[in-house]
């Protein structure tokens, strides 16, 4: 039985901090053993800890650190099917697949997440409106469960368990392996268009024109005053062909490597204040003028923040919250407007506000995406920030939208039930494979998916 180490852990927002008892197995069989016989009352699997709140924490409970289960098991380079252990980071996937002309069909905004974590959160990228979320590109998974040992599931084999697990935040079991369907590419470049907009309407209108592109995203200025609020930069792009990439490189599948810099220290909290953020946003907006058909490498297009290792420390020791909500298409424009207004009226500086379109929801009961707009913003943890985050969550619920559990740190039981109407169905599936609730996290206890409220 693997040993445990007690340590203080956080998510990417560096808040909350919970004392957890971590086991770090190196064999798949040990994972199952931990779930069935481990010392701790409950466990939650953890990858690289890139969820923002407490989804991969278990206060005074067990954590299964999956990062050493990081082996590639099978690769069909003809069909683009890759079978991996859940601890494989996207960075490894890219290093192996790209030279052979394959790329993940869906990638989150950082390479430093594990496949298991990506599936548990059912991550989406800049192409949800065209390609859906990562769950739509998974052939099958094997899952270690407390009651049934290792089970295989897919959209055709026990689809109920499959869809409860993808987006299920680790609460149905520990994903051991996954088979991913990749997308063929002939270069490591994207040809990108970029447009500036002057206000929210301009941003939303411009986003609507990017339908023909595979990828699109808008960065918006949530702090610009009055009518300029929501002005931004709309970026769209498609994979460049090998031939197109020859314009900038002799080796199309070989991206220029970019050494990442590390933030040398945690800055004092005054460095990022609402005022400096305002100025920063304005400069950023100005600096990113329009572009058409510019060839950018995959790193810059998909993983801009990875260039600054540990960027989350820029918010200081108090950490930050992230609010990410999806607002339904029917009221999208007004809903986004209302959310931005609420942020502007508070005294909290919101940086890095990102807006993307989303396509229809998938069958997962805890899966986040739905057709509409998703808005994400960071809220540095100053006094009052939690209230703002909670207010935004309530506003989201009122607007018929929902909050992304992989980012959340403020929802309660009531809000969860309001946003995710199928939690009873989720609990039923969980009960099938985990009747004794061996799987629980700080998040699941907080929102009542487990613990007393969850029974």
Partner 1 sequence: MTRTLVLGATSTIARSIVRLLGARGHDLTLAARDPEESEAVASDATIRYGVEAATVPFDALEEDHVATLKAAVEEHPIDGAIACFGLLGDQERARHEAALARGIIHVNHTGLVSALTPIADHLADRGQGSIAVLSSMAGERGRASNYPYGAAKAGVTTFLAGLRQRLHGQGVQVTTIIPGFVDTRMTYGQDGMFLVASPEDVARATLRAIDKGKDVAYVPWFWRPVSWLLRAVPEGVFKRLDL
Residue 1 touching partner 1 (CB under 8 A) = no
Q: Which is nearer to partner 1, 74 or 307 (CB)?
A: 74
Residue 33 touching partner 1 (CB under 8 A) = no
Q: What is the 3-state secondary structure (H, E, C) of 302-314?
A: HCHHHHEECHHHH
Residue 74 touching partner 1 (CB under 8 A) = yes
Write out the E strands in 30-137. 43-46, 62-65, 72-76, 81-85, 102-104
Residue 334 touching partner 1 (CB under 8 A) = no
Q: Which is nearer to partner 1, 96 or 248 (CB)?
A: 96
Burial of 56 (0-12, 13-18, 19+ CB in 10 A): buried
The distance from CA 200 to its chain's CA centroid, rounded to whole angstroms, is 24
Residue 39 touching partner 1 (CB under 8 A) = no
Which helix (H) or strand (E) is 433 found in, with range? helix 423-433
Distance CA 343, CA 389 (A): 9
Closest CA to 37 of 144, 162, 111: 144
Q: Which is nearer to partner 1, 25 or 359 (CB)?
A: 25
Give the range of 64-72, 194-202, 284-292, 388-396 binding partner 1 by CB under 8 A. 64-72
Q: Which is nearer to partner 1, 93 or 440 (CB)?
A: 93
- Choose which of 68, 258, 261, 262 interacts with partner 1 (CB under 8 A): 68
Contact of 285 with 232, CB cutoff 8 Å:
yes
Residue 27 touching partner 1 (CB under 8 A) = yes
Within residues 90-119, the interface with partner 1 by CB under 8 A covers: 95-96
Residue 81 touching partner 1 (CB under 8 A) = no
Give the range of 27-35, 224-232, 299-307, 319-327 binding partner 1 by CB under 8 A. 27-35
Residues 6+ apart with CB under 8 A from 437: 42, 450, 454, 455
Give the range of 23-31, 187-195, 288-296, 318-326 binding partner 1 by CB under 8 A. 23-31
Q: Which is nearer to partner 1, 6 or 330 (CB)?
A: 6
Q: Which is nearer to partner 1, 27 or 263 (CB)?
A: 27
Residues 6+ apart with CB under 8 A from 384: 346, 347, 348
CA Rg, the chain, in Å? 21
3-class secondary-structure state, position 446: helix
Strands 232-239 and 261-262: unpaired
Size of the site for partner 1 (CB under 8 A): 19
Burial of 455 (0-12, 13-18, 19+ CB in 10 A): exposed
Closest separation in Å from C-beta 32 to partner 1: 12
Closest CA to 293 of 255, 244, 328: 244
- Choose which of 24, 313, 329, 342 interacts with partner 1 (CB under 8 A): 24
- Choose which of 41, 73, 263, 279 interacts with partner 1 (CB under 8 A): 73
Residue 85 touching partner 1 (CB under 8 A) = yes
Strands 308-309 and 261-262: parallel
Residue 268 touching partner 1 (CB under 8 A) = no
Question: Could you tell me the end-to-end alpha-carbon distance of the chain, in angstroms, rounded to an integer?
Answer: 29
Residue span 209-248 as binding mask against partner 1, x where in contact by CB under 8 A, dash where not: ----------------------------------------
Residue 4 touching partner 1 (CB under 8 A) = yes
Q: Which is nearer to partner 1, 26 or 436 (CB)?
A: 26
The distance from CA 413 to its chain's CA centroid, rounded to whole angstroms, is 22
Residue span 390-409 as binding mask against partner 1, x where in contact by CB under 8 A, dash where not: --------------------
Residue 142 touching partner 1 (CB under 8 A) = no
Residue 72 touching partner 1 (CB under 8 A) = yes
Tokens of 251: 């080796």
Residue 5 touching partner 1 (CB under 8 A) = yes
Q: Which is nearer to partner 1, 10 or 67 (CB)?
A: 67
Q: Sheet with 351-358: list strands edge to edge.
A: 291-297, 189-197, 232-239, 215-220, 351-358, 372-380, 320-328, 402-403
Contact of 372 with 328, CB cutoff 8 Å:
yes
Give the range of 3-11, 209-217, 286-294, 373-381 binding partner 1 by CB under 8 A. 3-11
Residue 208 touching partner 1 (CB under 8 A) = no
Q: How many CB atoms lie within 10 A of CB 260?
A: 15
Q: Which is nearer to partner 1, 99 or 384 (CB)?
A: 99
Q: Which is nearer to partner 1, 46 or 126 (CB)?
A: 46
Residue 333 touching partner 1 (CB under 8 A) = no
Closest separation in Å from C-beta 22 to partner 1: 9
Residue 19 touching partner 1 (CB under 8 A) = no
Q: Using CA of residue 118, residue 122, residue 125, residue 127, what is the dihedral sign?
A: positive
Q: Which residues bind partner 1 (CB under 8 A)?
A: 2-5, 24-29, 68, 71-75, 85, 95-96
């Amino acid at each position: 039985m693997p040993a445990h180490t007690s340590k203080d852990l956080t998510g990417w927002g560096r808040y909350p901090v919970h004392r957890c008892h971590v086991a770090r197995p190196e064999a798949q069989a040990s994972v199952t053993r931990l779930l069935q016989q481990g010392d701790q009352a409950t466990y939650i699997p953890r990858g690289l800890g890139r969820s923002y709140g407490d989804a991969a924490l278990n206060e005074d409970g067990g954590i299964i650190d999956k990062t050493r289960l990081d082996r590639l098991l099978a690769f069909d380079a003809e069909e683009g099917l890759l079978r991996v252990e859940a601890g494989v980071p996207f960075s490894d996937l890219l290093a192996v697949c790209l030279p052979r002309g394959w790329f993940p069909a869906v990638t989150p905004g950082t390479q430093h997440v594990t496949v298991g974590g990506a599936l548990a959160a059912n991550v989406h990228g800049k192409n949800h409106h065209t390609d859906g979320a990562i769950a739509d590109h998974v052939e099958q998974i094997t899952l270690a469960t407390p009651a049934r040992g290792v089970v295989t599931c897919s959209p055709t084999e026990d689809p109920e368990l499959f869809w409860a697990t993808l987006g299920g935040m680790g609460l149905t079991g520990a994903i051991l392996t996954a088979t991913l369907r990749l997308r063929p590419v002939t270069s490591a470049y994207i040809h990108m268009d970029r447009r500036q907009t002057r206000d929210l309407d301009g941003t939303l209108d411009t986003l609507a024109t990017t339908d023909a592109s595979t990828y699109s995203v808008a960065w918006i200025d949530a702090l610009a005053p009055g009518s300029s609020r929501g002005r931004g930069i709309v970026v769209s792009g498609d994979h460049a062909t090998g031939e197109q990439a020859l314009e900038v490189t002799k080796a199309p599948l070989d991206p220029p490597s970019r050494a990442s810099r590390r933030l040398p220290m945690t800055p004092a909290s005054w460095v990022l204040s609402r005022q400096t953020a305002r100025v920063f946003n304005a400069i950023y907006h100005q600096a990113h003028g329009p572009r058409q058909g510019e060839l950018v490498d995959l790193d810059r297009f998909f993983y801009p923040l990875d260039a600054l290792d540990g960027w989350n420390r820029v918010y200081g020791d108090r950490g930050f919250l992230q609010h990410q909500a999806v607002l339904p298409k029917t009221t999208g424009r007004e809903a986004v407007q209302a959310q931005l207004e609420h942020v502007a009226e508070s005294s909290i500086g919101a940086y890095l506000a990102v807006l993307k379109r989303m396509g229809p929801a998938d069958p997962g009961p805890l899966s986040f995406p739905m057709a509409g707009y998703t808005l994400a913003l960071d809220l540095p943890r100053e006094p009052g920030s939690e209230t703002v985050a909670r207010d935004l969550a309530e506003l989201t619920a009122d607007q018929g939208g929902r909050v992304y559990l992989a980012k959340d740190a403020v929802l309660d039981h009531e809000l969860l039930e309001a946003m995710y109407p199928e939690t009873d169905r989720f609990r039923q599936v969980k009960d099938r494979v985990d009747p004794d609730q061996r799987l629980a996290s700080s998040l699941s206890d907080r929102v009542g998916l487990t613990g007393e409220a969850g029974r």
